[in-house]
Structure 1
Amino acid sequence: MEVVLVLLAVVAAGEFTLNILIQQPNTGRVVNGEEARPYSWPWQVSLESFFPTCGGTLIAPNWVLTAAHCITFHTYRVVLAEHNMNKEEGPEQFINVGKMFIHPKWNDNCVSCGNDIALLKLEKNAVLNDKVQPACLPQHGATLAHNQPCYVTGWGRLHSGGPRATTLQQVLLPAVDHATCSQSDWWGSSAKTTMVCAGGASKSACHGDSGGPLNCEGGDGRWYVQGVTSFVDGRGCNTTRRPTVFTRVASFIPWIVNCKCELYPFI
């Protein structure tokens, strides 16, 4: 059976305690989600070139994690402390991207091969405050339990073919373990161990959410970015048994560490 994948890009430590959030997220789109409480995901960034294209995650004052398939232009900036894209609300920080690092095994002709991950080095450090904080990353090799609750966040389409969200959206997506996600009536061989699946029913990420975080609360009360939003089924963002697929951050910790030492410059 041919599986059609759709990338989710839009083509057209400091004085703060990391990830014990000052503004707690609503737990009461993304598809079938809800508006996030402003600044409750302080590591969420908007990646922009000529227009907003993707999401991303601040992982250090001058480093942003995103999806490799998001990098299609040569000039980008990130917006931190963004909530409503239609107006400037005051706390936003606009910082140009200085260097881009794409995983060396990424193949833009084979999204299901994995390695959909990239790092952006900013031209200057972000100012950390109660609205802008770096995310915690999981330990190398860490896994998510089946049905572990996680949130995907972004400004992507509210439904397949629908309008993009104006304000940051969030949706609760339970993790789907690899044994389930790789079943033939789910994602089959398209689901790799270097990926994380989440959702698979009426809620999902959608076009424009690419590169953004899959946020999962750890047992220590901190939030960890366990995934980078990568692709959905070509038949629709919230197709049954086709959960949103994320690059599994825990599989790439050594590369992230090495990349921050600038071993793999893209430009």
Structure 2
Amino acid sequence: MKLNTLSVILTCAPLLLLLHGSSRSTALASPYGSNDSGRRIMNGQQANPADFPFFVKLVSDGILCGGSIISNYWIVTACHCIFRARCQAIEIYPSNSQRGQPPPIHAAQCVIHPQYDPTRHAFDIALIRTVEDMVSGGLKAITLTPPGTRYPPGTPATIVGWGKIGYNAYPQTLLRGQSVLVPWDVCNAQYKTGSNRCRGNPNCENIPNRILCAQGQGSAPQSGCGGDSGGPFIINGNLAAINTAAIYTSRPTFSAGCMLGSATMHTSIVDYLPWLFSLVDPSVNTAGFPVAPESGNTLVIES
């Protein structure tokens, strides 16, 4: 098996909502709700599936998510997309799949990160091993971000997904958009200022360290949203992160769907390379791979 390697603006409001990017949305107090309002890659453009041969659409227990092929037999996605699903029942479709077609890819094994914490979106990363050899079958693997890579604020990233465009409605085509990295501390401070969990308490627990925060720019900002979780966050052609969650400023906005310009959170791939390689390609020596601790006062050693 060969792995392609070495690869907000949030206003201060009484309530901030943090939403899993799957097609089931939720307030912070209950991370597994079933609100099905309209969500999508907002202001997204039609994507050519041939440009994203590594992208897959996942349907697990009614939850719509995305994923990325990283080797012949492995897909990486978000934990919250699959951790409650029966693995072999997950439906997996390539980026060029047509409506009504049966899923051509089947899951053989699902691996949830053992430290996954759904209350904080920490360690929100999972792997699916497939029955089929996807690369030999004509699909491609995306290259992972090289070890030690750190991206500065202002770095542009591409997002892609099949997220919903309305109540119980899906886009006819794959959508893409562009987002820009914003500082982690800005995103974290605004989360703590307004979130229902923190209620303005500056000593409230932080969002995970291993997060890339991003935001759409301009008068028509583009952003990932419900149904786009688990999908790729692409920088310079590499898989830099996994779409994880979005932040909202008020419950009415939450009920209507995603808010233009809201901040989004993405699980950083570079900090999970040792864990990924331990499963996907144990022959890779990751001893020298630098990873950030998950929180400011906890050093997490991963084998």
- Residue deviations 1:84-118, cap 9 Å, x none? 4x255xxx97111011001111123x1x2411110
CA distance in 1, matches of 2:90, 2:168: 25
CA distance in 1, matches of 2:66, 2:183: 24
**After the TM superposition, which residues 227-242 of structure 1 pair with which residues of structure 2 at under 5 Å, given as runs?**
227-234=241-248, 235=254, 236-240=257-261, 242=262
Aligned to 1:10: 23
CA distance in 2, matches of 1:66, 1:187: 29
Q: In the alignment, does 2:251 pair up with 1:251?
A: no
- Match 1:137 to one of 130, 141, 144: 144
- Match 1:206 to one of 211, 217, 225: 225
What amino acid does structure 2 have at the position aligned with 1:137?
L
Q: Secondary structure at the match of 2:104?
A: strand
Conserved? CA contact 1:67–1:117, under 8 Å: yes
Aligned to 2:173: 167
Q: In the alignment, does 2:196 pair up with 1:184?
A: no
**After the TM superposition, which residues 151-166 of structure 1 pair with which residues of structure 2 at under 5 Å, given as runs?**
151-158=158-165, 163-166=169-172
1:68 Cα deviation from its structure 2 partner: 0.1
Sort the Cα spacing of 1:173 and 1:251 in 2 relative to 1 into closer, same or farther, 3 A: same
Q: In the alignment, does 2:126 pair up with 1:118?
A: yes
TM-score (ref. length: structure 2): 0.68
CA distance in 1, matches of 2:23, 2:111: 20
1:247 Cα deviation from its structure 2 partner: 0.6
Conserved? CA contact 1:39–1:83, under 8 Å: no
CA distance in 2, matches of 1:47, 1:136: 20
Q: Secondary structure at the match of 1:253?
A: helix
1:197 Cα deviation from its structure 2 partner: 1.2
Q: Tell me how many residue pairs correspond in the alignment.
A: 232
Sort the Cα spacing of 1:173 and 1:157 in 2 relative to 1 into closer, same or farther, 3 A: same
Stretch deviating more after TM superposition (194-203 or 184-193): 184-193
- Residue deviations 1:185-227, cap 9 Å, x none? 788865432011111553211111111000111xxxxx10111
1:145 Cα deviation from its structure 2 partner: 2.0
Q: Secondary structure at the match of 1:9?
A: coil
What amino acid does structure 2 have at the position aligned with 1:163?
A
CA distance in 2, matches of 1:191, 1:154: 24
Sort the Cα spacing of 1:52 and 1:9 in 2 relative to 1 into closer, same or farther, 3 A: closer
Q: Cα RMSD between the aligned structures?
A: 2.8
Conserved? CA contact 2:69–2:75, under 8 Å: yes
Highest CA radius of gyration, 1 or 2?
2
Aligned to 2:65: 54
CA distance in 2, matches of 1:116, 1:136: 20
Give unmatched runs, 5+ long, in structure 2.
1-13, 26-39, 195-204, 249-253, 283-303
- Residue deviations 1:7-58, cap 9 Å, x none? 111249xxxxxxxxxxxxxxxx611010102321111001124656211000
Sort the Cα spacing of 1:177 and 1:162 in 2 relative to 1 into closer, same or farther, 3 A: farther
What amino acid does structure 1 have at the position aligned with 2:91?
R
Sort the Cα spacing of 1:187 and 1:78 in 2 relative to 1 into closer, same or farther, 3 A: farther
Sort the Cα spacing of 1:243 and 1:162 in 2 relative to 1 into closer, same or farther, 3 A: farther
**After the TM superposition, which residues 86-125 of structure 1 pair with which residues of structure 2 at under 5 Å, given as runs?**
86-88=99-101, 94-108=104-118, 110=119, 112-125=120-133
What amino acid does structure 2 have at the position aligned with 1:73?
A
- Residue deviations 1:231-257, cap 9 Å, x none? 1124353354x4111111111111111
- Residue deviations 1:154-185, cap 9 Å, x none? 000236x5732221100011122324333337
Give unmatched runs, 5+ long, in structure 1.
13-28, 218-222, 263-267
Q: In the alignment, does 2:85 pair up with 1:73?
A: yes
Aligned to 2:298: none
What amino acid does structure 1 have at the position aligned with 2:115?
K
CA distance in 2, matches of 1:7, 1:114: 12
Q: In the alignment, does 2:37 pair up with 1:37?
A: no
TM-score (ref. length: structure 1): 0.76
